[in-house]
């Protein structure tokens, strides 16, 4: 056949076939690479069977569920680790003034907060971020596990995001206190 795609060849009223709808059996066999077996029909001979594709073993039920089991174990382990961190840091953040003094002692700087009462709400806010962050992370992880999707990464991302937010809240009163800021910046330089 000749002619441009979609147009009829010269002298043919039909439109040019685009997907083989007018192809002869020979053209179809040539396209799908099958041998001509019409001679076998004429002579009455049986056609030799084409070699079958090698059988593949069906995946074992235990093998198919193993990645999901590992995902669940890792997810639960990360959630437990996060819960231990939250349970241990919340009391310290709730008593922010003592927490800040412990940080100063660990850094080896002689500093105290100028207005300890103004710093307490920041510690409480950081503690609440940790608590609600863990609850949100656990809920999202549980929902993805119920849908059968990978969920190990959710506790990691949740831990990073909510720890960053909490750390930012903890640093606000330290950096807003001019005396503490000068001592901390001076000890770094």
Q: Looking up tokens 């800040």, which residue turns up?
A: 100
pLDDT at 8: 56
Average pLDDT over residues 23-42: 71
Q: Which of 33-47, 105-119, 157-171 has the lowest mean pLDDT?
A: 33-47
What percentage of residues in the chain have a pLDDT greater than 90?
A: 40
Average pLDDT over residues 22-45: 71
pLDDT at 106: 87
Going by C-alpha positions, the residue among 84, 64, 79 that lies closest to residue 143 is: 79
Going by C-alpha positions, the residue among 68, 90, 59 that lies closest to residue 144 is: 68
Residue 40 has pLDDT above 80, yes or no: no
Kindly give the interhelix angle for 178-188 and 96-107, rounded to the nearest 10 degrees. 30
pLDDT at 118: 87
Sign of the alpha-carbon torsion through 167, 170, 173, 175: negative
Q: What is the mean pLDDT of the chain?
A: 82
- Residues 88-127 have pLDDT tens digits of 999 999 988 888 888 888 888 888 888 888 889 999 999 9
Contact (Cβ atoms closer than 8 angstroms) between residue 10 and residue 2: yes
Q: pLDDT-derived band of residue 52, with 50, 70 and 90 as boundaries? A: low
pLDDT at 6: 53
pLDDT at 124: 95
pLDDT at 156: 96
Average pLDDT over residues 7-17: 64
Residue 7 has pLDDT above 60, yes or no: no
């Amino acid at each position: 056949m000749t002619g441009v795609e979609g147009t009829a060849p010269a002298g043919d009223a039909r439109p040019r076939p685009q997907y083989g709808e007018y192809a002869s059996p020979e053209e179809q066999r040539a396209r799908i690479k099958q041998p001509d077996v019409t001679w076998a029909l004429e002579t009455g001979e049986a056609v030799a069977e084409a070699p079958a594709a090698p059988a593949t073993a069906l995946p074992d039920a235990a093998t198919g569920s193993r990645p999901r089991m590992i995902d669940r174990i890792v997810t639960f382990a990360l959630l437990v680790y996060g819960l231990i961190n939250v349970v241990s840091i919340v009391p310290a953040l709730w008593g922010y003034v003592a927490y800040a003094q412990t940080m100063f002692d660990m850094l080896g700087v002689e500093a105290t907060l100028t207005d300890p009462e103004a710093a307490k709400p920041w510690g409480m806010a950081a503690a609440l971020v940790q608590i609600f962050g863990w609850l949100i992370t656990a809920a999202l992880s549980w929902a993805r596990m119920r849908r059968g999707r990978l969920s190990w990464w959710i506790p990691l991302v949740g831990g990073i995001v909510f720890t960053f937010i909490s750390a930012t809240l903890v640093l606000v009163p330290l950096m807003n206190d001019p005396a503490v800021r000068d001592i901390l910046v001076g000890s770094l330089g």
